[in-house]
Chain A
Amino acid sequence: VRHDLRLKRPEILSRDELDTIYLSAVYLLKKVGVQIQHDETVNLLKDNGCDVGKHNIVHFPEHLVKECLQLAPSQITLCGRDPKRDMKLGRGTHTYTGVTFMNHIMEYPDRKYRISTMKDCMDIYRLADYYESIDFTHNCQGAMEYGKWNAYAGYEAGVSYSTKHCHISTPIPDVIDPICELASAMVGGKEELRKRPIVSAQYCAISPLTWNREGCETLKKEAEWGIPTYIVAEDMMGATAPVSLAGNLAQKIAEFLSGNVLMQLMDREHPVIFFAADEGFDFRTSQCAFSTINNHVLKWAIGQIGRYLDVPVKSCTTSDAHVLDAQWAFEHSFGFLSGMMSGVDELVGGIAGGAGLTTCLEAYPLFDESIITARRILEGIDVNAETLALDLIEEICAKIENGLRAGYFIDQRHTLKWMNIEQRPRRDMVFNKDKLDMWEKMGSKDYYQRAHQEVKKILREHEVTPLPEDAKKKIFEIRKQYEIKPEERSTTGNMPADNSSI
């Protein structure tokens, strides 16, 4: 697969508009300020020239914001357990794609929900390991029977069942330590982990313009360990941020820049990624919505903003559909295309729906095909003597039988070669291409049924490179030290009534 980009990135914002949005973000940081609910961090900022007003509202001077932005690396390498799976993020040269998973699993065939378990995490990672189109995994919520340690348990499953980079998110700062202990043991120590970060973590600013105590504590832990940090801005359009996209972007950028100042003051030249999680808001249901029209528009801007700020950026696609249906497929496919055309460095999503609450294993092939298609579009059309194939056209047209042209291209080496390079037909049979009667003969199965068969086959047959014995030993030690074990609880449950848990 070629990863070179042939198409010029579409630019949804002019240079003047980018300047205006950026300067608006700087203005917000200086004039409106950011509430920091953590005294130690407030003091750090104060010592570095910030003004602190009532209620711990911190006003950032423009020069500090700019200096810290200069310190943030433009390019970052995120590593996999297998070095061949390392990712070089930055400057929009390539969009890496990954799957995220949530705290519920949609079960085949009834499409009912249950709380996700460690076993589900293992399956999710094994599938992620199998698909070439998946570069990394993002453990948003999983292994829920481990209670507060679920992110650690998810990471354990991640390094055991995938050789790709694992990214985790947790609202609990204490969970960072065992995760990083395991990661550092696997690469040969804490200093080595800085050089080969096989784990990364994130924390969300609380919009509008707030960092809470857990956020500051988590960023501090990540700074201590030196692992790449995603600063997440989840500004719900019209709920916790302006619905108008320019203002929404300005607030998002302000939140990222404030988080970056914290990180650079705690750990100079700390690798940060701007995770611009485009969240919408549905004004009929009062729910957070991940796939409104504005979400797609915003995604087109995010890659451009990353290149403007010269920091790696990440975006996401999630469906608001609760079942794997036409809505799910449309929202994900459109989201992937928007994100990849925009040129974000990382794009995550694919198997998550239910407005960010649900995981569906049968969505994997859909994710795979969307990514392959979007990448193929970005590669454009090769025009050269071989692809023009004039000699071949001439040769085929010269075949005459009974006075009629009788040549065709199917049995040509050129077809075999370029079919694989340009058309990339799938080798699985998930997407129907059969004639009606053949489709009926095969059981009239829809996408969901065929995808389930394929996913089960992969789970049965795909073998992941085993974890080294000393890493398994380290897992045992960490579990003992932190008393990490599954809680006695039911593994089935209903969906939360709203999105407040994310």
Chain B
Amino acid sequence: MSQTDLVEKIRSAVLEYDEKKVVSLVKDAVDRKIDLMKVLDDGLTKPMAEIGKKFEQGEIFLSEMMLTANACLAGVNLVKPLMLQKKARATLGKILLGTVYGDIHDIGKNIVRILLEVEGFEVVDIGKDQPVDKFVQTAKEIEPDIVASSALLTTSRLQQQLLEDALKKAGMRSKVKTLVGGAAVNEEWREKIGADAYAMDAVLAVHTVKELLGKG
């Protein structure tokens, strides 16, 4: 099987959201020393971009996009360490991500994580129901480019305001960009608390992260 055929098979397996097949084919590509950049770009990232576009245009539903993203990510996770070893592909940026304290809704946050990882960002996900201190402490440790927080409830979104204050108090606010999202959040809220950006949904969050970091 030629390099082109194998990459095409990986692409098809991603579009069929067949994680096992993607892993097996990517391993095969690694063993056969096929150009990993080609595998990553044409076999994994491009089909995901196609699916993302279809989702944005309302042609497919969220489950289809997420199944594709999982299949894509399974391949990316195999390829990425090898490429980093070769310094062939550096991460696009480091994102600290979490759902704020008092809020156990993390589906949207998880979707954002997967889509960012697929795009090539390094994501440190601290999980759900996380206090402001945890965000700040982790930010100090990992020095992210962006601190992204999600809040589904109008009661819990107050934590995003506290996070802005805490980052300032810790002297970190000028070193990171902040991104807010979640069902209870809108542009008006972002402006009120002084966050750098707001994203209406997971796909827009990826676009927004790229814009914030000048990677768009």
B201 within 8 A of A: yes
Given A404-B127, A411-B63, A427-B59, A435 contacting B107 (CB threshold 8 A)? no
Are the CB atoms of A435 and B183 closer together than 8 Å? yes
Across-interface contacts of B62 in A (CB, < 8 A): 410
Are the CB atoms of B200 and A410 closer together than 8 Å? no
Are the CB atoms of A408 and B200 closer together than 8 Å? no
A382 within 8 A of B: no
**Can you list, as one digit per residue, whether each of B47-59 has a CB less than 8 Å from chain A (1) or not (0)?**
0000000000011
Q: Considering only CB atoms, which chain A residue lies closest to B71 in the complex? A: A411
Are the CB atoms of A408 and B110 closer together than 8 Å? yes
Most-contacted residue by chain A among B61, B64, B126, B127 (CB, 10 A): B61
Report whether over half of chain B's contact residues are helix, strand or loop; otherwise say mixed. Answer: loop
Are the CB atoms of B58 and A429 closer together than 8 Å? yes
A11 to B165 alpha-carbon distance, docked (Å): 65
B3 within 8 A of A: no
Given A412-B63, A427-B59, A437-B200, A406 contacting B127 (CB threshold 8 A)? yes
**Can you list, as one digit per residue, whether each of B1-23 has a CB less than 8 Å from chain A (1) or not (0)?**
00000000000000001000000
Given A401-B127, A408-B107, A435 contacting B59 (CB threshold 8 A)? no
Contact of B63 among A419, A429, A437, A441 (CB under 8 A): A419
Are the CB atoms of A427 and B58 closer together than 8 Å? yes
What is the interface residue range for chain A against chain B?
20 to 34
Are the CB atoms of B66 and A411 closer together than 8 Å? yes
Are the CB atoms of B67 and A416 closer together than 8 Å? yes
Given A419-B61, A435-B200, A441-B200, A411 contacting B128 (CB threshold 8 A)? no
A497 within 8 A of B: no
Contact of B127 among A402, A410, A436 (CB under 8 A): A402
A425 within 8 A of B: yes
Number of residues from B at the complex interface, CB < 8 A: 25
**Can you list, as one digit per residue, whether each of B114-144 has a CB less than 8 Å from chain A (1) or not (0)?**
0000000000001111000000000000000
B91 within 8 A of A: no
B187 within 8 A of A: yes
Across-interface contacts of B208 in A (CB, < 8 A): none
Looking at the assembled complex, report how far the CB atom of A416 sits from the nearest CB atom of chain B, in whole angstroms: 4
A438 within 8 A of B: yes
Q: Which residues of B, 36-87, contact A by the 8 Å Cβ criterion?
A: 58-59, 61-64, 66-67, 69-70
Are the CB atoms of B183 and A410 closer together than 8 Å? no
Q: Considering only CB atoms, which chain A residue lies closest to B125 in the complex? A: A401
A413 within 8 A of B: yes
A415 within 8 A of B: yes
Q: Considering only CB atoms, which chain A residue lies closest to B59 in the complex? A: A427
Are the CB atoms of B70 and A406 closer together than 8 Å? no
Looking at the assembled complex, report how far the CB atom of A418 sits from the nearest CB atom of chain B, in whole angstroms: 10
**Can you list, as one digit per residue, whether each of A129-155 has a CB less than 8 Å from chain B (1) or not (0)?**
000000000000000000000000000
A428 to B61 alpha-carbon distance, docked (Å): 11
A217 to B61 alpha-carbon distance, docked (Å): 55
Across-interface contacts of A441 in B (CB, < 8 A): 200
Q: Considering only CB atoms, which chain B residue lies closest to A420 in the complex? A: B61
Q: Considering only CB atoms, which chain B residue lies closest to A436 in the complex? A: B186
8 intermolecular pairs with C-beta atoms under 8 Å apart: A402-B126, A402-B127, A402-B128, A404-B129, A406-B127, A406-B128, A416-B61, A438-B201
Starting from the known contacts A411-B63, A428-B58, 9 additional A-B residue pairs (CB-CB under 8 Å) come to: A406-B110, A406-B128, A408-B107, A410-B66, A412-B67, A416-B64, A429-B58, A438-B201, A441-B200
